[in-house]
Amino acid sequence: MTTRAEQSGAETEAKARPGRPVDHSFDDAVLATTLDLIAENPLEGITLDAVAARTGRAKTTLYRRWATKDALVVAALRSMGRPPEVEHLPRRGSLRADMLAVVDSPWLGGTARRLALFAGLARTASHVTGLDAVVRSEITEPYVEIYRRLLTRAIDEDEAPEELRSRVDTLAAVIPAMSSLRFGLDHTTTGRDFFVTVVDDVVLAAVRGTRATA
């Protein structure tokens, strides 16, 4: 018969015994694979089964690390980091060249792969809890900040007119806003030409134009 003292000692030992440590060694591969699936087939392709098959990991192992598919997708998005131009603003000799340098950034594997990923995220967002907020904080808002700083620098260096300063916040949001709209409406990947057109025919046209009068 087990005494009260022996039972108490066993319970104390069980509580003190550490659980199995979480293995983070495969995190990068799983998150990268999840991003690949978002870019390739965002609605049908993002499943724990698909990620497990590509990474050679058991689905139960993935569930121990990420309790749901939504948690995995959000973690994958956070793993991307933010656009590097936030820290290293392009300087290519003109406002147009600087803006196109952002479009042509090697971030996330280059323009084509990055745009495919953004298109996939746009189509995935409504199906994944919390994804909209992360896209906004990690992608949309940083890009607005990049374009705001480029426009402000152009004004400070007399490449753009001073009267543009009051409209910088609006113009800085144009490319990210039009990108979000296009990705949300178009189920094919939006290419570089779209962004060149927005830069030339919308943003730079506004920079060159005169302020409309009421």
Which among 114, 87, 117 is positioned nearest to 103, based on CA atoms? 114
Contact between 52 and 59 (Cβ < 8 Å): yes
Amino acid 43: pLDDT: 64
Amino acid 155: pLDDT: 97
Helix axes 111-124, 27-40, angle to 10 degrees: 80
Amino acid 13: pLDDT: 38
Amino acid at 179: S
Amino acid 11: pLDDT: 44
pTM: 0.84
Amino acid 214: pLDDT: 34
Sketch the domain layout of the chain as residue ranges. Answer: 20-79, 84-208
Angle (CA) 154-109-27 rounded to 5° is 120
pLDDT in tens, 5-50: 444 444 443 444 455 555 667 899 999 999 999 998 766 668 889 9
May I ask the CATH class of domain 20-79? mainly alpha
Amino acid 44: pLDDT: 64
pLDDT < 50 positions in the chain? 1-17, 212-214
Helix, strand, coil shares of the chain as percentages rounded to 5?
A: 70, 0, 30
In CATH, the architecture of 84-208 is Orthogonal Bundle (1.10)
